[in-house]
Structure 1
Amino acid sequence: MPDPPDPPDQPDPPGGAVAQPHDALFKFVFGKPVHAASELRGVLPVPLVERLDLASLRPVNGSFVDEELSNRHCDVLTRTTFDGRDAYVYVLIEHQRNPDPMMPLRMLRYLMRIWERHLEHHPKTKRLPLILPLVVYQGPRRWTYPVELSELLDIDPDTRDLAAEFLPRFRFLLDDLTRLDTTALRARPLTTPARLTVRLLHIVPTHVDDATAAIGPDDIDDFRNLNHYPDSRELMTVFLKYIEAASETPPPKLAALASQIGPEAEEVYMTTADMLRAEGRTEGRTEGRTEGRTEEAARILLRLLARRFGTVPGPARERIATASLEQLRLWSEQVLDAETLDQVFA
């Protein structure tokens, strides 16, 4: 009799909840099998891809990262089959400025936790499932540390040769985004959300002052093509929130990016609380800067109203001109569901 399937929801192992903007983006996109599969097709060796059932990928709840490293590591585990047998794909993102020199040891520890949980759920099994480990690195410097566990051992070459059969053999696959130029990225068989994720994970940390300066025409096209996905609004939200949270991009620049992408991006920008806090609600802003954010929010609201209802009458413009930033936020949220202009201001 086959072992029962894993329960759909289990308490998270060490690692805790998503806390970093990189983590929120990574988990939201690559936690979805269709996008994770496209990343794996682009980085795994072809013979492995041909034997791995990417069509049956399904996410496994939980994190296996050390709690003290949850601020620099984020992981996604998916389950599938390899040649008809149970298998897992474990993807970890490293998003610190410097690579982790002990990553092979850490990855082995994380894989041990996965196997241990698998055994808890399948106590009668006599064999362990295959786990394919992948590390996605997005730091500003190229990865120069080992990916093979035995390379961490403090032994000379002669000893390595003499003890070769007794040395642990484990290595992980590395996707070093610092080595990936735009041409190579676009050649990968990625879904649009997966490509945007990889692209933003690469450029935002290296353009902290203004991430929009590194966003080109091809990226704008990808943003616009998100509307082909049923969760386009959620995708747009997580991408814009990532840019805002992971960089110091000035709010007017972010507003201009949303306007360039199109109406849905503008609506998302105006209705995301974090974005509006960046428009002037954070503590310590001077009164003059707050007024500037309010004026910008008013201009964007007017554009949204014009696109939704046509010409904005004078009385409505007067109300917007004298409204507080908080009031503008409320009206902007109501634009999405209002059927008439009056309902926006109700």
Structure 2
Amino acid sequence: MRHGAARPMQINAHDALFKAAFSQVEHAAGELRQALPPALSARIDFAALRLRPGSFVDEALKERQSDLLFSASMGEARVLLYLLFEHQSTVEPLMAFRLLRYMVRIWEHHLAEHPGSKRLPAILPVVLHHSETGWTAATSFEDLLDLDEGARAVMVDHVPRFRFVLDDISQEGDEALKARAMSAFSRLVLWCLRHGREPDELLRQLGKWLDLVNEVRRAPNGVEALRAIWRYILATNERDEADEVLQRLLAAAGEPWKEEIVSAADQLMERGRQQGLREGLREGRCHMLLKVLGARFGALPNDAVARVNAADIAVLDRWSERVLTAPTLAEVLSEP
């Protein structure tokens, strides 16, 4: 296949790599053990860790956030561990509030699956973060509340209280990442995500990580895991021509990886074509739905327009089916 001058379209390379690694419980367990306080980690039976279905982030934020939900045993109880990856260049000051919203959605989902439940599973929120500055905002929900110290003292028992666990890799050096007690693939993924905004650095430093690359390759499903790494490096470098990035990656990795890297580039190009077709179809449906909504309900509020523009094809199809019969805009755009 000719890799051409055009950059293959990659809707969210960060999300794809994050989920390629941490949707596998053996890799997720290593990240969670690393992030959690030792006393808390010691009480969790990671052998019982299981991935749960669903994503709970806002539709409009899915380009900036990725999430995975797990269950595990803690003594006689089952607890939920919610891992959120924040892949934007700035710090979200209201992260604790967003997490509360996502946690409520998880509990609502739980109650829908277990009607009649009188108790809720505990949720342990964990944020994996990388930004240009490192984390600078509150990690405790109560710190977001606009209260002076005197008011806080008397209100503390009457407001939501939780602190999320933060794994901030922004300021962590490459050698520290490499030394983490995690699988080789997980460490390689964190290194890639750490430098995802500076893809030239990935190409320059790859030679120092080839021992880890070899370790990944020897592991079960190692070749497929490495394809995810190669696709990420190829997809995140948007400044240079695709052929040039491919040649630089081949030079940095060396001859043993040539066939696998070229195969990953072919997969990326094909995915780019398919994503381009799907995005073109999605944009057309967005345009048509907004036109019909405007004809039925008049000028649309900005938040409704934003929701339509962020929705995927399946959601757009549901809304399009309702648009002619639902009596209000809110009922057209309602989602469980």
TM-score (norm 2): 0.71
Match of 1:271 in 2: 263
Matched, 1:237 2:231: no
Quote how far apart the aligned CAs of 1:260 are.
4.8
Matched, 1:184 2:179: no
Match of 2:249 in 1: 257
* Bigger Cα displacement from structure 2, 49-58 vs 265-274: 265-274
Quote how far apart the aligned CAs of 1:247 are.
2.2
* Bigger Cα displacement from structure 2, 42-51 vs 152-161: 152-161
1:142-291 pair list within 5 angstroms: 142-205=134-197, 207-209=198-200, 211-217=202-208, 219-248=209-238, 250=240, 251-252=243-244, 254-258=246-250, 260-261=252-253, 265-273=257-265, 277=269
Q: In 2 relative to 1, CA 105–263 (structure 1 residues): closer, same or farther, beyond 3 Å?
A: same
Quote how far apart the aligned CAs of 1:98 are.
0.6
Q: 2:34 aligns with which of 39, 42, 58?
A: 42
The 3-state SS of whatever aligns with 1:230 is: coil
Matched, 1:55 2:15: no
Specify every segment of 5 or more residues in structure 2 that has no aligned partner in the other structure, as ranges: 1-9, 274-336
The 3-state SS of whatever aligns with 1:220 is: helix
Match of 1:4 in 2: none
User: Which amino acid in structure 1 is aligned with residue 217 of structure 2?
Assistant: N
Higher-Rg member (1/2):
1
Specify every segment of 5 or more residues in structure 1 that has no aligned partner in the other structure, as ranges: 1-17, 282-346
Over 6 Å off, 4+ runs = none
Distance 2:25 2:256 in 1: 25
The 3-state SS of whatever aligns with 1:62 is: coil
| Matched-pair contact (CA < 8 Å) for 1:236–1:265 | no
Distance 2:113 2:254 in 1: 47
User: Which amino acid in structure 2 is aligned with residue 90 of structure 1?
Assistant: Y
Q: In 2 relative to 1, CA 123–276 (structure 1 residues): closer, same or farther, beyond 3 Å?
A: closer
Q: 1:101 aligns with which of 72, 93, 103?
A: 93
Distance 2:238 2:11 in 1: 18
1:274-313 pair list within 5 angstroms: 277=269
**Structure 1 vs Structure 2 CA RMSD:** 2.3
CA displacement, residues 103-147 of structure 1 (integer Å, 9 cap, x when unaligned):
101001111111111112122432111211101112222110111
CA displacement, residues 63-98 of structure 1 (integer Å, 9 cap, x when unaligned):
111001111110011111111311111100111111
TM-score (norm 1): 0.70
User: Which amino acid in structure 2 is aligned with residue 138 of structure 1?
Assistant: H
- Report how many residues are paired: 260
Distance 2:193 2:177 in 1: 12
Distance 2:131 2:206 in 1: 18
Match of 1:128 in 2: 120
Q: Which of structures 1 and 2 has the larger relative contact order (alpha carbons within 8 angstroms, sep 6+)?
A: 2
Distance 2:268 2:117 in 1: 53
| Matched-pair contact (CA < 8 Å) for 1:142–1:178 | yes
Distance 2:255 2:200 in 1: 25
CA displacement, residues 298-336 of structure 1 (integer Å, 9 cap, x when unaligned):
xxxxxxxxxxxxxxxxxxxxxxxxxxxxxxxxxxxxxxx
Identity among equivalent pairs (%): 37
Distance 2:200 2:255 in 1: 25
Distance 1:68 1:274 in 2: 30
Q: In 2 relative to 1, CA 177–21 (structure 1 residues): closer, same or farther, beyond 3 Å?
A: same
Distance 1:249 1:222 in 2: 27
